[in-house]
Amino acid sequence: MNILHIPRHVGMFLVCIYQKTLSPDHGPLKKFFPHGYCRFNPTCSQYGYESIKKHGLLKGSIKTLYRILRCNPWNKGGNDPA
């Protein structure tokens, strides 16, 4: 592992922690939302994980923030790969 990839892996680790604890689509809260909660495919947290993995921590986090801001009742959602 390159030392420059450490921030990327830390960001990906934090997304995994979120998915396993608080996410209504991936974690224990999934039992309350059996048909899913996120209107996008992949889910916003999975998009964040993939985006950070592909683009690095800074650019991936910005893309993820933009995706989260688009997740609202006025957006239809749909397929939006990282």
Per-residue pLDDT averaged across 22-38, rounded?
A: 83
Residues 10/43, Cβ–Cβ less than 8 Å: no
In a domain, 80, yes or no: no
Q: Give the number of domains in the chain.
A: 1
Which comes out higher in pLDDT, residue 41 or 13?
13
In a domain, 82, yes or no: no
Band (pLDDT 50/70/90 cuts) for residue 7 is very high
Per-residue pLDDT averaged across 17-45, rounded?
A: 86
The boundaries of the domain holding residue 47 are 3-26+34-73
Question: Is 1 a residue whose pLDDT tops 90?
Answer: no
The per-residue pLDDT of the chain, averaged, comes to 89
In a domain, 15, yes or no: yes
